[in-house]
Amino acid sequence: MPAKNTTRVFFVFEDLSRLLMDIDDRQLVGEVKEKVRQTLQLGVDETLAGSECHERKMLSLSYAGAILEDSWRFADLGIPYKAQVN
């Protein structure tokens, strides 16, 4: 069971990979996205080998059909324990 002010959430991605994380309810969606990005190493991708051009992969989170905005707090979203976020 996670700590009192946390929610355990399953993140499911396009390739059907899954990630289970305990999210502090006070965290912003944008902070959680950065945690997910770091965990899955979705940082900067080189667009061309040896090129100085870099592209940051786009990451958006959705729940119940709605895209979660970076400025929203997880506590305000009412996402239940062990819910699936895409």
Tokens of 77: 């979203």
* Contact assessment for residue 4 and residue 48, using Cβ atoms and an 8 Å cutoff: no
More confident residue, 41 or 85: 85
Structural domains for the chain = 6-45+53-85 (3.10.20.90)
Distance from chain centroid for Cα 33: 4
CA distance 29 to 75: 10
Task: Provide φ and ψ at 8, rounded to 5°.
Answer: -90, 125
CB–CB of 8/20 below 8 Å? Answer: yes
Give pTM, 2 decimals.
Answer: 0.74
State residue 56's pLDDT score. Answer: 58
- Of 29, 31, 55, whose CA–CA distance to 42 is shortest? 55
Give 25-72 pLDDT, tens digit per residue: 889 999 998 888 888 776 654 444 455 555 556 788 888 889 999 999
Q: Is the pLDDT of residue 78 over 60?
A: yes
